[in-house]
Amino acid sequence: MIRIGTRRSLLAMTQSGHVADLIRDRLGREVELVEITTDGDRSQAAGTPLADTPASGTGVFVSALRDALLAGEVDVAVHSLKDLPTYPQAGIALAAVPEREDPRDVVVARDGLTLGELPAGSRVGTGSPRRAAQLAALGLGLDVVGVRGNVDTRIGKVRSGEYDAVVLARAGLARIGRLDEVTETLDPLQVLPAPGQGALGIECRATDELVDALAALDDPRTRAAVEAERAVLATLEGGCSAPIGTLAEVVEGDDGDELWVRAVALSPDGAVAVRMSATGATTEAVEVGTRLAKEMLAEGADALGSEAGHDV
């Protein structure tokens, strides 16, 4: 019996349930979901929501699941990959990255509108410096305002008229069956997603026999893409604190599959951006991402500061 530790939120339960199905179908093993209540959940219940990925350090949600793994209370933890820090955690293995959902950001706006149709001064909610900077860079005169809470809470602020629109990850809406709320899917040409967005990270204890078994759930194309994106993030984080968007895709090259990686680093107000791309072998994902980020730092990304630091 494999025990999967999960938070109680709808998105977490859906993601854990999806991985439970994969383990049953592909490994033929029995699975049980074990609920883990985190400090973050308690503080949300008490009415003071925390950011699930603070500007520095590992998010409270990620930490609680890893603690349960290391204590032997559960055998597997499922995370949104974009919530996982780039540096490894002692004793924990990232055993599998299954096939990714659509990584793009989407708009949920009043009256079925797109960003371009919203009048200047419209209130657009996002808690992410990456989204805020890229929205500002569109030059539409939108009023970008902070928003916290789960997906339902955020959509509710559009329904109630408090905001004209919110920007969210398409993958989160897809997983909880709310894609019908989407009024526009943002082209990565304009808004690049967070590193790892739309992908899941499946962790287990590094010494567990499960490391080898779970490898069967790994999708090599997704793994290559997210390794490149996380290398971009890790390298840029070392040299600047600007909001970052990046997307790696496996595309058809002259000699078969190759990785195509796009990335942007922006000043927090979106006024200055360094936007570049790189291609390379799918087997050299980390190298491609690292090289791209180093070029971006040399092109001025190192001077794009943000007190808010990194968020998703």
Ligand X SMILES: NCc1[nH]cc(CCC(=O)O)c1CC(=O)O
Q: What share of the chain is helix, strand, coil (3-state, %, to 5)?
A: 40, 25, 40
Q: Counting contacts by CB under 6 A, is residue 44 touching ligand X?
A: no
From 6, 9, 53, 241, residue interacting with ligand X (rule: CB under 6 A): 53
Selected binder of ligand X within 50, 63, 67, 83 (CB under 6 A) = 83
The reply to whether 80 sits near ligand X by the rule CB under 6 A is yes
Q: Does residue 169 bind ligand X (CB under 6 A)?
A: yes
* Of 65-73, 78-86, 111-119, 254-262: span binding ligand X (CB under 6 A): 78-86
Which range in 157-165, 167-175, 183-191, 296-304 contacts ligand X by CB under 6 A?
Answer: 167-175
- Among 168, 226, 264, 296, interactor with ligand X by CB under 6 A: 168
State yes or no: is 255 an active-site residue. Answer: no
Q: How far apart are CA 312 and CA 193, in angstroms?
A: 8
Q: Is 197 in the site for ligand X (CB under 6 A)?
A: yes
Stretch that binds ligand X, among 2-10, 16-24, 168-176, 212-220 (CB under 6 A): 168-176
- Residue 172 in contact with ligand X, rule: CB under 6 A: yes
> Which residues on neighbouring strands pair with residue 106, listed in sequence order?
168, 185
171 binds ligand X (CB under 6 A): yes
245 counts as binding ligand X under rule CB under 6 A: no
Q: Which residues pair with 299 in a beta bridge?
A: none
Distance CA(148)–CA(14), nearest Å, equals 20
**Counting beta carbons within 10 angstroms of the beta carbon of residue 275, is it exposed (0 to 12), middle (13 to 18) or buried (19 or more)?**
middle
**CB closer to ligand X, 102 vs 143:** 102
Q: Tell the smallest beta-carbon distance from residue 83 to ligand X (Å).
A: 5
Of 39, 67, 75, 83, the catalytic one is 83
Min separation Cβ 155 and ligand X, Å: 10
* Tokens describing residue 109: 């706006």
Alpha helix positions (H), the chain? 10-22, 39-45, 60-70, 129-137, 151-159, 170-175, 210-214, 220-239, 285-298
Q: Shortest gap between Cβ of 154 and ligand X (angstroms)? A: 8
Residue type, 166: V
Distance of closest approach, residue 191 Cβ to ligand X, in angstroms: 12
Using CB under 6 A as the binding rule, whether residue 287 contacts ligand X is answered as no
If DSSP codes are grouped into helix, strand and coil, which group holds residue 164? coil
Residue 295: CB minimum distance to ligand X, A: 26
**Cα distances (angstroms) measured from residue 185 to each of 135, 149, 285:** 13, 21, 27
19 binds ligand X (CB under 6 A): no
Binding ligand X by CB under 6 A: which of 82, 130, 230, 310?
Answer: 82
Burial level of 36, CB count in 10 A (0-12/13-18/19+)? Answer: buried
Q: Are 109 and 184 in contact (CB under 8 A)?
A: yes
How many binding residues for ligand X (CB under 6 A)? 12
Closer to ligand X by Cβ: residue 171 or 231: 171
Q: Could you give the CA distance from residue 266 to residue 117 in angstroms, rounded to a whole number? A: 24
Cα 161 vs. chain centroid, distance in angstroms? 27
Contact residue for ligand X among 12, 22, 40, 52 (CB under 6 A) = 52
> Is 270 one of the binding residues for ligand X (CB under 6 A)?
no
Q: Quick one: which H or E segment has residue 262?
A: strand 256-266
* Residues assigned a catalytic role: 83
Q: Which residues bind ligand X (CB under 6 A)?
A: 52-53, 80, 82-83, 168-169, 171-172, 197-198, 312
